[in-house]
Chains A and B, each alone.
Chain A
């Protein structure tokens, strides 16, 4: 539970007022609630319903204080709830510390809360970290005078697959219902019934499927809401807690990871006011078991007679070195965008200083030369003090979303935008093919834009000024001219740009130099001075001057066998823009080294596989989309834990007779920091032109993006979480449906020359006519793989039978 007011990073010049609490003067900003003013003095007034990030409700009445003087010389005849009482100049407050009346009111309230509360603390998940338990001890009577009948309910009731409710434990503080309504905007739980039978109820026709449902478990001040997967797993006092960062997206949430017996039992949202405040999403909270499944790699594998067999480290290293040496500089390194900045840095240094190539790219997804230039110009070497931040989103007059669905791709950005919309009247504009549920919850204005037409939409965007922030999603890499148009828009209007990729490691990878034309800190490979600067830092004679191949180039060269070897880490075939051609490349490349946590579809066709430590087994740093360093702490490590990627690379370099120069995360971080951001020549923003191909009157165009909870391997093993995924549907307008012969309640089959996929049809008139939206990776259907198409490509659409 929360006892201090959080500064959310949005500084405000506000008038302060002075009041007296328990005889001590305190100055607080005008508008501060008395309960918070007391916190400033270290006076903890007990409370249940109060939460600093939720609107006050005054329901539990636990925080009663006496008010001898309202600041106007008159006192209040009865004790007041300090969570709804605004501090006034000259006010005098007596808390339980100085007022017997307040102390009795509080003790009486606790006694009443406990009359209908079960005495099941010994088997309750919350026991040991329970505000009701704690405050009963600190402010209660110790003994109940109640001798009557307790209210009981059948238990537990699932309010979603992931969240269970034990109603008899509930103190009806309405934190969960207020969270769902005010913070995430998914009001599918509400208080129902009345009197002592009041309870949290779920809308009969819709379970509480929210991407943020886990937060209600964390803010529940009793054990009423529990998580289906953590329930009865551990006692809080048996857990070892570590503050770390979430690895699942570029939002950069702080996490508290709790482990017992070297196994992470649960993850909670950390308290990072400037980033995630006190929230996180369900992926960050519940998707953490994928690394402990049977496909975990713990020892090197070597291909022999076409089959991978376990091998010793020296044997595997020798084999890898032999293969890489044979390939010479016809070799490439692909990192998946999920690695820490230190690890990314090590990979690009390995490529350049050990293998002697600039063939390095982190973008295991749709990528373009335009994007690389955009990243080099606007992202590489960026720092939080210059970049757009969460606080800037709250300060902005307007935020434009382009190729970016915050709720699906960076949920904490979504929460902060929603907060700004609710509290600061932020206007949100979505340049998108449809008004998504997330955009609707942001009260966004839709600029209907067919996929592929984003560049033109940006060129025509009106009412953009220096107070506008434009958020760009990684999907724009697949739209020629879009990032150039965004850069032009910024230059024209003074609007600020922020690029928000999906994966946690991408911003760090850009700054680390995991791109074919980019050295660390924004240095360009094409810049001789920058090359010399980097070579000097690395203590090598020179660095390759020839621009490298990007991910598309490497895959193409691997397919036609001009590239002899590939080192791949942290990537899946299904990640790539076209998984079919990617698979072809990995199968054709002469020599494939895979460094992975788990056996993947890439490591399955590798010649040598090295196991790497899980993120929870190592330390490091992610740069979130604000370029804010998010420290990753080692949560736990067992004897089974393999070496980190950096150690593997260092061992390979040693065996090749070269020196990687870094052997630990710390040394990589120190070196990158010493290199710093480049103050020499930087890349120009791209000026690519858009390809203009309007939808033909009888054609259909594909719109697609990834949903937060989908077939990603990070969710493996998190069954309850996956059960809360959105049902896969195809969205199309009524007019498009008529043209395709599709009816509401029917199905729609989307096809290309490669294949077809069928979904339940959802008629949604916000969808641009001629466009059919389907989720990229839902329910076993990988659109890129099955259709070979990406957003903006022409497809066929017709009524279909259920596939």
Chain B
């Protein structure tokens, strides 16, 4: 089944010192940049647009179209901001990409900036991953030393500087407008739209915000052409992408495959659910996407397939849970995350997650009361679609989907603690040491 994989972004991850410019260039790195600079910016943009590349950060908005929204007549500078604030539970693709091959992203940023007409680009990296921040900074320095950044890049007349910025530890800063506030040095909270970032984003100037993987995909599109890219994937979800599998699988990790692959195929690549167990439920794209179950093993993991199944492709972060897992406990842990990460700006998210956590704790402890499921679903209805940004939608999606597929487990929470129904040690991925001499 190895022929299913299409390693492009991850092709060089196993190379010796893959993060260095020398290693990157040995495998054809920065050739796409040379090719792009020989094209007109419009031609580059058209190539990306025609490739059908869609945003890999979750929403799936066509990348080339996003670029074309930037007004040409705005006198302010234009900015490209790369969203590397990967913080979604389960999602692990941008960080390994930046860790293993930062130059792929740097090259993508340069080509994309050239296409949009940007002279200052920012890479906003989640602050907790300091080693990745350093890799990115080092890569930018190397690129500058090689003349890929700075003024008159490779004699093309094009100027570009890249700033690598470390976030300060807030999930909300992955929301693009909160990210802009954070980048400007303010508290990260989502902004009111309109104006949209394409018109008034960073420093009130036209700004394109793209996910790391989207931008990193650009060099391959330029190097090998839109037809090559479009030959992979499905009609509306073109190309390859990084799927990350975690949880109860034999071999968790990143799997680069064409869009539209199924979980059944991915599980085979990952060695299947851990030995002696079977799939109970999974998230298709991180904890913000409604969970799915074994009945969805053959649904194509692309934008349309997931939407049809009542979920979302999201960040293609497949968290795999086997039959030992308490869905109540899992949901509680997720909602605790959202409660902690709610920025506090709007009522439903701030107060609703505060309340949901308390209700879920009752379900977990077996102290919920008859009717609490309906109350919780009603509360989810009052939160979802009423909040300022999509954070709260993600927070309720896991709750409503969990109740949809595993209502009986919640009903059990009227009488019995979840840890008695499904003892937690059975679902532990790694055995818990007898003595807990932490940091001994």
Give the B-binding residues of A (Cβ under 8 A): 56-62, 64, 77-79, 84, 104-105, 108-109, 111-113, 115-116, 145-146, 148-149, 151, 171-172, 190-198
Contacts and interface: CB of A to CB of B under 8 A. Distances in A.
A61 B344 contact: no
A198 B344 contact: yes
18 contacts: A57-B192, A60-B346, A61-B386, A61-B387, A62-B347, A105-B382, A108-B348, A111-B382, A112-B347, A148-B359, A172-B345, A194-B342, A194-B343, A195-B341, A195-B350, A196-B339, A196-B354, A198-B345
Given A61-B346, A84-B192, A108-B382, A148 B388 contact: no
A109 B354 contact: no
Q: How would you classify the secondary structure of chain A's contact residues: helix, strand, loop or mixed?
A: loop
B334 to A, nearest CB: 15
Nearest to B190: A58
A78 B187 contact: no
Contacts of A111: 382
Contacts of B170: 194
Given A113-B347, A196-B342, A104 B382 contact: yes
B382 A191 contact: no
Interface of B: 170, 172, 187, 192, 339-348, 350-355, 358-359, 375, 378-379, 381-383, 385-388
A148 B358 contact: yes
A198 B345 CA distance: 8
Contacts of B341: 194-195
Contact of B353 (A56, A113, A192, A195): A195
A58 B388 contact: yes
A116 B382 CA distance: 16
A115 B192 contact: no
A112 B192 contact: no
A104 B348 CA distance: 13
Contact of B388 (A61, A151, A196, A198): A61
Contact of B350 (A62, A77, A192, A198): A198
Nearest to A173: B347
B386 A78 contact: yes
Contacts of B352: 112
Contacts of A195: 339-344, 350, 353-354
A109 B381 CA distance: 11
B87 to A, nearest CB: 14
B359 to A, nearest CB: 8
Contacts of A193: 344
A60 B187 CA distance: 18
Nearest to B345: A59
Contacts of B375: 145
A198 B342 CA distance: 10
Nearest to A109: B347
Across chains A and B, which 8 residue pairs bring their CB atoms closest together, nearest first?
A: A108-B382, A198-B344, A78-B385, A148-B358, A112-B351, A195-B342, A196-B354, A194-B344
Contacts of A59: 345-347, 388
A148 B367 CA distance: 12
Contacts of B388: 58-59, 61
Given A79-B385, A195-B341, A197-B344, 19 more contacts: A59-B346, A59-B347, A61-B346, A61-B386, A61-B387, A61-B388, A77-B385, A104-B381, A108-B379, A109-B348, A111-B382, A112-B352, A112-B383, A171-B347, A190-B187, A193-B344, A196-B353, A198-B345, A198-B350
Given A116-B351, A148-B358, A105 B342 contact: no
A114 to B, nearest CB: 9
A452 to B, nearest CB: 42
A58 B346 contact: yes
B350 A196 contact: yes
B377 to A, nearest CB: 12
Nearest to A64: B386
B397 to A, nearest CB: 14
A116 B339 CA distance: 14
Nearest to A60: B347
Given A58-B346, A195-B350, A109 B386 contact: yes
A196 B352 CA distance: 9
Contacts of A197: 344
